[in-house]
Structure 1
């Protein structure tokens, strides 16, 4: 007899096989194991946790991100950390917990580990956060929450400078594909925020409606804790005017905030649907795209830094990496030169 599991949905792959998800309103989408026995056990565990939460029972779910962090903090290895190491460990542990304390720790696959590490731009931060994640995986392995340590043996050598920016055609294709995605409205809102506010995805997802004031968006950057005020681009303002707030955060689905893992998964699904799976485009490239568009429009380093939140020196270094030398920029430079010459000649 086939048992029907609550809130379990089947999705067909292109090769005819199936993948399974636990999809319950008010909770993050969770990929389930392919093995039917393990799938049944995991779905039952998730339903039990959700049922307790619905009944008002506040518990830290076993196997969740918060649970693994708690177990690690109880360990001898955590207790042996020096004061200096403890300071940055706790910083990264807090950041990891903010991804979704109730999310199953097993959502951290290799790809998500690398995505999360890449959100840090500080010198040496990648190796520090990787070390923290490795210890969390060791804890999760000890308690048999996960079989593998996806934070071990990472190649953290400096990657080639990314020069990828979104073209207008690619933006249009992604937005068109997003319109028919189950989380379409939330993802389109997230896309516009990334495109016009020029912040990291992890900071964008935390933006609340209370952060919109007098035509500007206030963004608290996770990395620096700096509060950045960014005037709303007219296209962003028009989009936000048509939204009805359903949660404290601007980006929401089913009246709940969207977690970083869920955002990443949905973003990639839409990329594939738009025919951009092999394009190399990423959500974080929208920040670079915003910098390029502002530079092409003639914005100075100081003006761009006021939007991105970096200091002038860091902005200059980032622009050297982020800004491809496009034809539009070259034409703008010549036009400025010619305009300056015309003004000078009029004075003679």
Structure 2
């Protein structure tokens, strides 16, 4: 459907190329971009309509930020309770995602954004699907904030789907790979302690780096998971199995956290991930990762016949969908074994 914009004139140059102008009585005629289907055109039109003839000042300028721009909406969002209630790590990542889009699109009017524009932003990351999905998620949140605070009446990102996930995600360690790592890093080493904490608790690296003796009482490890700690905290209580207890007792540990750096300080999640990656490489397991151990724990529990709810009690997942994504392959293996057992009984 075509929409006729008020005070927009169209003509052709001597080469037959169409040109567009904004001409409002009492204002100087303004040349508009050549393609009326683009956000650049709509931005220029919106500025001309408001009497502006120059683009807004850069973000780091002390000049006024256009209240119709996506940058203005983002700054309101950053200052909101919704954003400040997010964990520090989540805030940092979301800022990076949104700011990467604001660099190019921050001056565009957010009320003119349509699903097709959100889809185009997603598709810019076609070679990195998770990054594309992260853009959609971040934009959904910023427009949700806009609706709740009467800045807008719709969420164009809601109508944009995520890229479908390809493959099985992080590789889940096999028992043979665990044994290979253990042979390279014996009990008493920091690497073996890290493996044991990841494997026998099923927690994320952001939780493992925080674990310490203060979380252990009467043979149980109890702590609040780092993810969504400030928004939707999840407290997990896990019995410490003998294998983990043995490794902790034989390992050098810090005063506050079990795992410490060479400088005697606690790891950051990112620093730990990089450090553990090096330990995997030393064992010849270049395709393995810290997150893959969390997946391996969930998968192994499924293979042992644990229910989804039992697995959720260990991993701290809050929805069935999340944990089933981890255990799908293990469940199929169990069903296949059961099916073939029945088949054998027919012989």
Residue pair 1:294, 1:304 contacting (<8 A) in 2 also: yes
Aligned pairs, number? 218
Match of 1:238 in 2: 246
User: 187, 192, 196: which one pairs with 1:192?
Assistant: 196
- What is the CA distance between 1:310 and its match in structure 2? 2.1
Q: What SS does structure 1 have at the residue aligned with 2:172?
A: coil
| CA distance in 2 between partners of 1:308 and 1:247 (Å) | 25
- What is the CA distance between 1:331 and its match in structure 2? 6.4
| CA distance in 1 between partners of 2:180 and 2:201 (Å) | 20
Instruction: Write the deviation string for residues 10-39 of structure 1: whole angstroms up to 9, x where unpaired.
Output: xxxxxxxxxxxxxxxxxxxxxxxxxxxxxx
User: 208, 215, 226: which one pairs with 1:222?
Assistant: 226
Please list every run of at least 4 consecutive aligned residues from structure 1 whose deviation after the TM superposition is greater than 6 angstroms.
74-80, 135-138, 335-338
Q: Name structure 2 gaps, 5 residues minimum.
A: 1-59, 66-70, 105-123, 133-162
Match of 2:209 in 1: 205
Match of 1:12 in 2: none
Residue pair 2:302, 2:327 contacting (<8 A) in 1 also: no
| CA distance in 2 between partners of 1:301 and 1:87 (Å) | 34
| CA distance in 1 between partners of 2:79 and 2:342 (Å) | 52
Q: Name structure 1 gaps, 5 residues minimum.
A: 1-71, 98-115, 118-127, 139-152, 339-348
How do 1:7-22 and structure 2 match up within 5 A? none
Structure 2 length-normalised TM: 0.52
User: 314, 324, 327: which one pairs with 1:319?
Assistant: 324
How do 1:102-181 and structure 2 match up within 5 A? 128=94, 130-131=96-97, 134=100, 155=128, 156-157=131-132, 158=163, 159-160=165-166, 161-162=168-169, 164-179=171-186
Task: State the superposition RMSD in angstroms.
Answer: 4.1
Taking structure 1 as reference, are residues 186 and 137 closer, same or farther at Cα in structure 2, changes over 3 Å only? farther
Q: What SS does structure 1 have at the residue aligned with 2:257?
A: coil
- What is the CA distance between 1:131 and its match in structure 2? 2.2
Match of 1:262 in 2: 271
- What is the CA distance between 1:191 and its match in structure 2? 1.5
Q: What SS does structure 1 have at the residue aligned with 2:310?
A: helix
Match of 2:297 in 1: 290
Match of 2:160 in 1: none
- What is the CA distance between 1:137 and its match in structure 2? 11
Instruction: Write the deviation string for residues 29-50 of structure 1: whole angstroms up to 9, x where unpaired.
Output: xxxxxxxxxxxxxxxxxxxxxx
Q: Which one has a bigger Cα radius of gyration?
A: 2
| CA distance in 2 between partners of 1:133 and 1:257 (Å) | 30
Residue pair 2:302, 2:330 contacting (<8 A) in 1 also: no
| Higher mean C-alpha displacement, 242-251 vs 192-201 | 242-251
Q: What SS does structure 2 have at the residue aligned with 1:82?
A: helix
